[in-house]
Amino acid sequence: MSASADLAKEKSLLNRADFVRQFPLTVPSKDIVAKAKEQGLDIPSNYVSAVRSKMRTGNGAATPKAKKKVKAAAPSRAPKAHRKVGRPKKVAAPAPAPKAPAAKAVAPRPRLLPAGKGVDREFYQRVLDIGLVRAETLLENVKARAATLR
């Protein structure tokens, strides 16, 4: 093909697209193809659909030299932490702690409480709770009062 034929083909492509864009989207593509034949343009219906698709998505030039709106910059957010997808990797189980050597037999501790029951055992328990020094002080106070009551 010669350069003039290429230029004519390019011009007809521009004319065809402009011809399709001049109709509203509500006009059926069959009607556009029929009107194009009346004007001497050969436009298939799938071409009409392609041009209209670009018009709907904003990729085609709906109006001559249409300027796209520039969106305002979104407020900056902290970057999201990277999340790994899938199963976590297997981690080797920690080595078991070394076993302690067998405990030596220890002599039982002497019993601080008498084997008896009742008041004596309760008295011993109270003395151990408050401490021996404090218990002796309290007993001396009890002895002093008992001496004044006689």
Q: Mind listing the pLDDT tens digit for each residue in 64-94? A: 444 555 566 556 666 666 667 788 778 877 7
- Give me the mean pLDDT over the 36-52 stretch: 89
27: buried, middle or exposed (CB in 10 Å: 19+, 13-18, 0-12)?
middle
Higher pLDDT, 128 or 45: 45
Helix extents (H) in 2-131:
3-21, 29-38, 45-57, 119-130
- The per-residue pLDDT for 111 is 63
Boundary residue ending a domain (12, 35, 57)? 57
Q: Is residue 131 part of a domain?
A: yes
Share of the chain above pLDDT 70, in %: 66
Q: Is residue 63 part of a domain?
A: no
Boundary residue ending a domain (32, 57, 82)? 57
Domain span at residue 50 reads 3-57
Boundary residue ending a domain (18, 34, 57)? 57
- The per-residue pLDDT for 19 is 87
Q: Is residue 129 part of a domain?
A: yes
Q: Is residue 7 part of a domain?
A: yes
- The per-residue pLDDT for 137 is 92
Q: Is residue 107 part of a domain?
A: no
Q: Is residue 41 part of a domain?
A: yes
Q: Considering only CA atoms, which of 40, 8, 35, 7 is closest in space to residue 20?
A: 35
- The per-residue pLDDT for 123 is 82
The answer, yes or no, to whether residue 31 has pLDDT greater than 90, is yes
How sure is the predictor about 33, in pLDDT bands with cuts at 50, 70 and 90?
very high
Share of the chain above pLDDT 90, in %: 10
Helix (H, G, I), strand (E, B) or coil at 135: helix
Higher pLDDT, 134 or 4: 134
When divided into structural domains, the chain yields a total of 2
